Amino acid sequence: MKFVHIADMHFDSPFTGLNTLENLGDIRRLEQRKVLKKVIEYCQENKIDYLLIAGDLYEHEYIRKSTIEYINQLFTEISDTKVLIAPGNHDPYIKNSYYQNFAWNENVYICKNELEILSEPEADFYLTAFTDFYCTKSPIEKIQIQNPNKVNIILTHCDLNGSTDENGYAYNPILASQLNRLKFDYVAMGHIHKTNFAPNQNIVYPGSTISFGFDELGQHGMVVGELNHHELRTEFIPLDDRIFAKYELNVANFWSKEEIIETIENLKLDEKTMYEIVLIGNRQFEINPREIFKLLTVKNILKIKDKTQIGYDIEKISKENNLRGIFVRKIIQKYENENYPQEQIKKALEIGLNIL
């Protein structure tokens, strides 16, 4: 049997992290559609038996009916492929969800309960569903493989080796040891946006189908696989044409914001890649990332991040018998007496020394 495994498409996401570039959110929503169309075309051309969607297909809070209709229309184009969906924490199976209140095509199977078993000629599928926006106790703990001689696949939106967060929330936390004990032929997971794919590995996060920003670097796409008599072969296929990348720029030898801007403008950057410029090194003057970003004309730079350190030798300056030395000694004495954080002391010194 042949399958495609995707997760975390988040259709109609507002893309709030990408609002520094005009209309980029709208552009990315169009690109979501193009990526799903690529998935459907691959299923058609390669006669895929099962399309496995491991949750967060859409954003419950923002999804429009027109988008659901678009998704479902694409599913009708692969009527010979069974589409299996395990709802996640962003698209839970709840009363007012489109999973429950929309007439999906006949080839679409949506898990409605915490745990369901779908027996197909090619395999037994164990599916889980979020029936709320959180899931504290994983239903996977209840699983017993019914037919070990058959191919067994689990489709789940989960937090592998996860736990309850600081707010007391959990997202179907399961242990890898539990999954290994159950001996599934393939574990199709969603929730984590970074892929953990390795060829023929059987416990897999495909990652988000498209990238949502600079915490999701590198390629994004789908996992395709084939299972025959418990023998697994898999491959990762990139789908997202737009890549997010970080570029580090050492500013140790720069003495003005104009030098930084000119250097950034002259970088040879890939036009289809969206960049975060990370400023590093010992700075010689106060840097305002927002000010630099506003003056840039390069449209595929979305963010400037300042990770520089103060370039002044404070200890050496504090020993000088001049205005600078007096200023540094006074500031250090004042701020340390009032228990200010070291970063605030450094910032105050930097501003004052720049003025002097």
pLDDT recorded at residue 345: 79
- Rounded Cα distance between 4 and 154, Å, is 13
- Rounded Cα distance between 227 and 80, Å, is 18
pTM of the shown model: 0.84
291 touches 306 (CB < 8 A): no
Domains and CATH numbers, the chain: 2-238 (3.60.21.10), 243-355 (no CATH)
Task: Give the pLDDT of the chain (356 residues) as one tens digit per residue.
Answer: 999 999 999 999 988 767 666 678 888 999 999 999 999 999 999 999 999 999 999 999 999 999 999 999 999 999 999 999 999 999 999 999 999 999 999 999 999 999 999 999 999 999 999 999 999 888 888 899 999 999 999 999 999 988 766 666 789 999 899 889 999 999 999 999 999 999 889 999 999 999 988 888 889 999 999 998 889 999 999 999 988 999 999 999 999 999 999 999 999 998 889 999 999 998 888 899 999 999 999 988 999 999 998 777 788 888 888 998 899 888 888 877 777 777 777 778 877 877 77
pLDDT recorded at residue 299: 86
- Rounded Cα distance between 345 and 330, Å, is 11
pLDDT recorded at residue 20: 63
Write 126-129 long-range contacts (CB < 8 A, 24+).
126/152, 126/153, 126/154, 126/155, 126/156, 126/184, 127/84, 127/86, 127/154, 127/155, 127/156, 128/86, 128/154, 128/155, 128/156, 128/157, 128/158, 128/172, 129/86, 129/87, 129/92, 129/93
Tens digits of residue pLDDT in 115-144 = 999 999 999 999 999 999 999 888 888 899
